[in-house]
C-alpha cells in the first residue's frame, strides 16, 4: 500500500505542476500587475515550508506576511494559501511516508475522510465573500492557537503510542479530519489541529506526521486544482512555491534533531495577532 500511495502522490504532484504552469503562463500579463515581488514570495515560501515541516502553522505565518505587506486580496487568501502549499506539502508527505511507520488502515481512513470534507466544502467556500472569509479565518485561527497550547503544554508524550487508531478513537479522529478538510479550504491550516487530536487520542508522535501530511496534501490538492482552474489565487505566490520544496527538503534532514517548542510558542502569538487582524477588518469587501 505504501509504495502505491507514494506513486499516487508523485503522480498528483506532476499533474498539479503541469496545470499550475499552464495557468501561470497563460495569465503572465495579469501576474505582472500583482502586488509583491518574486523575491518576497520565494523567501516566504522557503521559510514557511521549512517551519511547517516541524508542525509549525504555515497558515499563520503566511497570513501575517500577506496582510503585513498588503500583497494578496482577502478574497484570494484561501486560494493563494492552498495553491502555494501543494508542491511543498506533497514533498513532506513523500518524505514522511518513506521514513516513518504508520498503521495503513488509519492512514487510509483519515486521508479519505479529510479529502471528502474538502470535496464537499470547496464549492461552498469559493462562494463566500471576503468579509465572511475573514470572520471564519479569525475565529478558526483562535481555535488553532488553543490547540497549539494543548499540544505544547498538555501533550507530553515523547513518541510512546500506537501507530494507528481503532473503535471510538478512530471515529473521533475521522469526524475531526472531515471538519478540518473543509475548514482547510478557507486557508486554515489543518496541520496543527490534526496533529493535536491524533496525539490526544494516543497516536505515536512519529506516526502522526505521515497521516497529517498525506491527508493535507491529497485534500488540498483537490481544492488546489479548483482554485487554479477558477483563477482564484495569486500567481506569483503559487509560482514561487517551488522554493518551499527546498525548505521542506532541508527541514526533513533536521526534523529528528531540532527542538521547535520555542517556535511553536511564538506561533501562538502570531495566530492570535492574525485572528485579531481578521476580526477587526471590514465585514464587506468592495467589488
What's residue 286's pLDDT? 39
Helix (H) or strand (E) holding 166: none
Residue 224 maps to a domain: yes
Residue 5 maps to a domain: no
Residue 57: which domain range?
37-280
Longest alpha-carbon distance in the chain: 54
- Give the contacts of 104 (CB within 8 A, at least 6 positions apart): 1, 2, 164
Q: What is the pTM of this model?
A: 0.76
Residue 28 maps to a domain: no
User: Do the Cβ atoms of 236 and 38 come closer than 8 Å?
Assistant: yes
H helices, E strands: number in the chain: 13, 0
Residue 193 maps to a domain: yes
Residue 6 maps to a domain: no
pLDDT per residue, tens digit, the chain (287 aa), is 778 889 999 999 999 999 999 999 998 888 988 888 899 999 999 999 998 887 777 777 888 888 888 888 878 888 888 899 999 999 999 988 888 888 999 999 999 998 888 777 656 666 666 677 667 767 777 876 787 777 677 655 444 568 888 889 999 999 989 888 877 766 566 777 788 788 778 888 778 889 998 998 988 887 788 888 888 899 999 999 999 999 999 887 776 565 556 656 766 776 677 677 667 755 444 33
**What nine digits make up the cell of 43?**
523567501
Residue 3 maps to a domain: no
Residue 19 maps to a domain: no
Instruction: Quote the Cα angle for 144-138-109, to 5°.
Output: 45
The owner of cell 506513486 is 7
Residue 18 maps to a domain: no
Task: Give CA–CA dist 228/86, Å, rounded.
Answer: 11
What is the tally of structural domains in the chain? Answer: 1
DSSP 8-state class, residue 240: T
- Candidates 176, 174, 186; CA nearest to 123 is 186
Listed in sequence order, the DSSP H helices in 70-201 are 77-99, 104-126, 130-153, 167-183, 191-200
- Give the contacts of 23 (CB within 8 A, at least 6 positions apart): 228, 229, 231, 235
Burial 66-94 (b: 16+ CB within 10 A, else e): bbeeebbbbbbbbbbbbbbbbbbbbbbbb
Amino acid at each position: 500500500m505504501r509504495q502505491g500511495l507514494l506513486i499516487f502522490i508523485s503522480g498528483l504532484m506532476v499533474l498539479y505542476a503541469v496545470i499550475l504552469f499552464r495557468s501561470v503562463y497563460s495569465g503572465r500579463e495579469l501576474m505582472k500587475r500583482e502586488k509583491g515581488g518574486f523575491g518576497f514570495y520565494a523567501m516566504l515560501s522557503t521559510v514557511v515550508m521549512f517551519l511547517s515541516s516541524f508542525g509549525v502553522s504555515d497558515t499563520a505565518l503566511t497570513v501575517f506576511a500577506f496582510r503585513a505587506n498588503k500583497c494578496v486580496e482577502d478574497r484570494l487568501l484561501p486560494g493563494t494559501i492552498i495553491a502555494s502549499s501543494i508542491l511543498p506539502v506533497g514533498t513532506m508527505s513523500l518524505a514522511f511516508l518513506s521514513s516513518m511507520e504508520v498503521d495503513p488502515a488509519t492512514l487510509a481512513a483519515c486521508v479519505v475522510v479529510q479529502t471528502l470534507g474538502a470535496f464537499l466544502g470547496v464549492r461552498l467556500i469559493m462562494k463566500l465573500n471576503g468579509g465572511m472569509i475573514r470572520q471564519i479565518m479569525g475565529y478558526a485561527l483562535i481555535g488553532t492557537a488553543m490547540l497549539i497550547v494543548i499540544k505544547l503544554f498538555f501533550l507530553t508524550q515523547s513518541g510512546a503510542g500506537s501507530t494507528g487508531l481503532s473503535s471510538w478513537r478512530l471515529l473521533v479522529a475521522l469526524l475531526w479530519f472531515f471538519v478540518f478538510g473543509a475548514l482547510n479550504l478557507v486557508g486554515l491550516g489543518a496541520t496543527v489541529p490534526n496533529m493535536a487530536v491524533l496525539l490526544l487520542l494516543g497516536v505515536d508522535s512519529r506516526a502522526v506526521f505521515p497521516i497529517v501530511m498525506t491527508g493535507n496534501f491529497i485534500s488540498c490538492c483537490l481544492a488546489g486544482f479548483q482554485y487554479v482552474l477558477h483563477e482564484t489565487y495569486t500567481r506569483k505566490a503559487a509560482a514561487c512555491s517551488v522554493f518551499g520544496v527546498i525548505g521542506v527538503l532541508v527541514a526533513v534532514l533536521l526534523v529528528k534533531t531540532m527542538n521547535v517548542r520555542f517556535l511553536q510558542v511564538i506561533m501562538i502569538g502570531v495566530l492570535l495577532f492574525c485572528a485579531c487582524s481578521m476580526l477587526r477588518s471590514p465585514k464587506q469587501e468592495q467589488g
